[in-house]
Amino acid sequence: MNKDIATPVRTKDILKKYGFSFKKSLGQNFLIDTNILKRIVDHAHLTEESGAIEIGPGIGALTEQLAKSSKKVTAFEIDQRLLPILSDTLAPYDNVNIIHGDVLKADVKKVIEEEFTGFSDIMVVANLPYYVTTPIILKLLSENLPIRGIVCMLQKEVADRIAAKPGTKEYGSLSIAIQYYTEAETVMIVPKTVFMPQPNVDSAVIRLTKRVNPIVEVLDEEFFFIVTRASFAQRRKTILNNLTSQLPDGKTKKELIIAALEASEVDPSRRGETLSIAEFGRLSDALLPNFK
C-alpha cells in the first residue's frame, strides 16, 4: 500500500530527498492533509469514467487522490524541478500524465482533444497558485472548453469575490465575469495550518459548474465585460460617473449614456455593485450602438 504523499512527514522526506526549496515567485504551498485533499476531490463528483485536469501538481498530493478517483489525470506543471519528483511520487499510478508548461500559454482545447478523446466528463481540479488564480480561471472559462466545471482552492478573499451576490462589498466585475459562465459556490474553507509552507491567508475551495448557456444573452460579450469593468472602476462613484469617465469618449457622450441607463431602467445614481448581471446585460446592449 502506498503511503499518502500529503502528510507532513512524507512531504518533508520527499523535499529533503530532492533538496527542493520553495519558490515564492511560483506561489508554492503544498497541502499536507490527506482528508482535505479527499474532500476537495469529493466536491468534483468524479467517476471512474471522468477525466481530471490539474494545474500546479507540486509533488503530486492532489494528483494522487485524483488518480484514485478518475480514469485519467493530466496535470500542467511549470516548475521543471518538480518533474523528477512527480515521476517518482506518482510512479504507482499509470493513469497520470504530467505536461511541463505554463497553462496560461497552453492550447488547453488541443490538450483536451489529445488527452481525453472519448471522455464525456472532464473536470478541472486544482490547488491554484494564488498569484495567477484569476487569469487561469478566466482563461479556462472564456475558451469554451468541453469541461463540466472547475473545483479549485484559492485565497478565501478571491473565493468570496467570485461567489459574491449583488449589493455586497465583495461583488464586482470578477463576480460577474465568472458567474456569467458558471454557477459559483464556496464549498469549504481551508485553514492556513494545513500547508507547507504556511501562507499568510486562509484558503477556500470553490466549485464552478459551467452553465449550458451564459446567464444572460448579450449582443456583444466583449463589450458586456468592458461595461461591467468600467462600472466598478471607482466603487464609490455612481454608475453614470464611472461609465462617463471610463468608456471611450464617455464625457462627450454623456447624454447617450444617460439615455441608455434610462432605456435599461437603471437609475444613473446607483452604484455598480447594486446591479444584477441581467441589468448589466440590458445596459451593455443599450450602450452598444453608440460605443462599438
Assess contact for 188 and 205: CB atoms under 8 A. Answer: yes
Spatial distance between the Cα atoms of 179 and 209, rounded to a whole number of angstroms: 9
Cell numbers found for residue 99: 505536461
Domains, the chain, in order of start with CATH, read 8-210 (3.40.50.150), 221-291 (1.10.8.100)
The end-to-end CA distance of the chain, in Å, is 62
Q: Is 138 helix (H, G, I), strand (E, B) or coil?
A: helix
CA atoms within 13 A on the CB side of 148: 17
Identify the CA nearest to 71 among candidates 88, 87, 90, 95.
95
Q: What is the pLDDT of residue 27?
A: 64
- For 3, other C-beta atoms within 10 Å of its C-beta total 10
Cell numbers found for residue 12: 518533508
- For 16, other C-beta atoms within 10 Å of its C-beta total 9
Spatial distance between the Cα atoms of 224 and 229, rounded to a whole number of angstroms: 9
Identify the CA nearest to 230 among candidates 215, 248, 217, 216.
248
Q: What is the pLDDT of residue 25?
A: 63
**DSSP at 173:** H
31 annotated binding-site participant = yes
Ramachandran angles phi, psi of 182, nearest 5°? -140, 165
Q: What is the pLDDT of residue 136?
A: 96
77 annotated binding-site participant = yes
- pLDDT tens-digit profile, the chain (292 residues): 467 888 889 999 988 998 887 776 666 778 889 999 999 999 999 999 999 999 999 999 999 999 999 999 999 999 899 999 999 999 999 999 999 999 999 999 999 999 999 999 999 999 988 888 999 999 999 999 999 999 999 999 999 999 999 999 999 999 999 999 999 999 999 999 998 888 888 999 999 999 999 999 999 999 999 999 999 999 899 999 999 999 999 999 999 999 999 999 999 999 999 999 999 999 999 999 999 7
Spatial distance between the Cα atoms of 174 and 225, rounded to a whole number of angstroms: 10
Spatial distance between the Cα atoms of 108 and 101, rounded to a whole number of angstroms: 11
Residue type, 7: T
Q: Sign (positive/negative) of CA torsion 28, 33, 34, 39?
A: negative
